[in-house]
Amino acid sequence: MTEQDTSSDIHIRTEGRAGRITLTRPKALNALTYDMALAIEDALDSWAGDDGVALVIIDAEGDKAFCAGGDVQKLYHTGRAGDFDYGRRFWRDEYRLNAKIAEYPKPYVAFMQGFTMGGGVGISCHGTHRVVCDSSRIAMPECGIGLVPDVGGSLLLARAPGRLGEYLALTTARMGPGDAIYAGFADIFIPQDDWPGLIARLCESGDTADIAEAGRTPPHSALSDLLHDIDAHFSGDTLADILEALRGSDTEFAAQALEALSRNSPLSMACAVEMLHRLRGPAANIRRALELEYRYTFRAMEHGDFLEGVRAAVIDKDRAPDWQHDLDTLPPHAATDMLMPLGEDALGLHKKDDDT
């Protein structure tokens, strides 16, 4: 076994024929820091041309979470101080990593126990082999903190069955293992007790056929049962259309969905709907999704609800965000304005020497 990085947050090494990445912040639910993202990228770059590495395995310590999201506290504090460049650089570099995973030339195997949300989705769900277990809970909760589904998650949502993408983005609902496979965020269900033996075999053989052999029948997807209701209420062109459909229904489904939407940033939700509409179709790919997401995140601190959303959810934890708009007073062009092209500030996915 060759050691490459043994910081307190992440353990990167080669083991047999595998490049191994283990997140080691279980007390912080393995939240992804800027330095962790850069370390993962450096490892992937070094292994891409290494004939001794047949595949990459990413996993995490602890039972509660694979990775519950990005570490947003520094983003908040720098943004509150008027430093928007730090966040823009963080998102740009993180998105470059997400694209690198999606386009990686070797198998990329992710083991996702417990919570896998936001930034955690970005370092796992673009892999070639995405493994879930009974405890897996996958979500894109960004609209709840004034952001939009990002790290390439918008593309996964746009490709989900029917209008499931809009439902997951706007309600921030959590998917169990069966739901995650149904929605296209995971591939295979393997009981967590079987993971250590499987990982050992993968390291020895470098052969992903071992993954399929370990697969079991996943739990039933509750979301598949809801797809008719989801399509009936979430097919509108805009957030206003979706709200109208939900308010015009007297079903329990509509009432629960409206309650969920009432908690989240109206601006974020309107932008999420617009993004998913733009990303449907054969022309959409990971780079297009990330470029569109970056238009929002570039503006998120200065013009969006991100700082207030993080304050309410993470800093003060009062769960009472004062969004800049409410559901019925959101200007009709607000989403379009947030998603305008950035010109010379547009997302670039090449790695610059001064980025690190």
Active site residue 119: yes
Say if CB 319 and CB 313 are below 8 A apart: yes
Q: Is 197 a catalytic residue?
A: no
* 20 DSSP 8-state letter: E
Q: Catalytic site residue 127?
A: no
What is the distance in angstroms between the CA of the first residue and the CA of the last residue of the chain?
27
Residue 323 CB neighbours (<10 A): 19
In this structure, the number of other CB atoms found within 10 A of the CB of residue 110 comes to 28
pTM summary value: 0.96
At 268, which amino acid appears? S
Question: Please, are residues 4 and 41 in contact by the beta-carbon 8 Å criterion?
Answer: no
**288-304 pLDDT tens trace:** 999 999 999 999 999 99
Q: Which pLDDT belongs to residue 239? A: 97
Q: Give the model's pLDDT for residue 190.
A: 98
- Give the number of C-alpha atoms closer than 13 A to the C-alpha of residue 57, restricted to the C-beta side: 30
- Is 351 a residue whose pLDDT tops 80? no
**Token match 């993971």: residue?**
195
Q: How many CB atoms lie within 10 A of CB 146?
A: 26
Choosing from 59, 93, 150, 274, which is the catalytic residue? 150
From the candidates 59, 93, 142, 274, which is the catalytic residue? 142
CA–CA dist 125, 42 (Å, integer)? 19
Mean pLDDT for the chain overall? 96
Of 79, 87, 119, 120, which is the active-site residue?
Answer: 119
pLDDT tens figures, 54-107 = 999 999 999 999 999 998 999 999 999 999 999 999 999 999 999 999 999 999
pLDDT for 20 equals 98
Sign of CA dihedral 279, 282, 286, 292: negative
pLDDT band at 4 (very low <50, low <70, confident <90, very high): low
Instruction: Identify the pLDDT of residue 356.
Output: 39
Active site residue 150: yes
Which candidate in 19, 41, 59, 70 is catalytic? 70
Flag whether pLDDT at 5 surpasses 80. no
pLDDT band at 2 (very low <50, low <70, confident <90, very high): low
**How many other CB atoms are there within 10 angstroms of residue 61's CB atom?**
16
Relative to beta strand 18-23, strand 10-15 is: antiparallel
Note whether 234 and 242 are within 8 A (CB): yes
What tens digit of pLDDT does each residue of 113-131 get? 999 999 999 999 999 999 9
Looking at residue 355, what is its pLDDT? 45
Q: What percent of the chain has pLDDT over 70?
A: 97
Q: Which domain holds residue 332?
A: 2-355
Question: Which CATH number belongs to the domain containing residue 279 in this structure?
Answer: 3.90.226.10
Number of domains the chain contains: 1
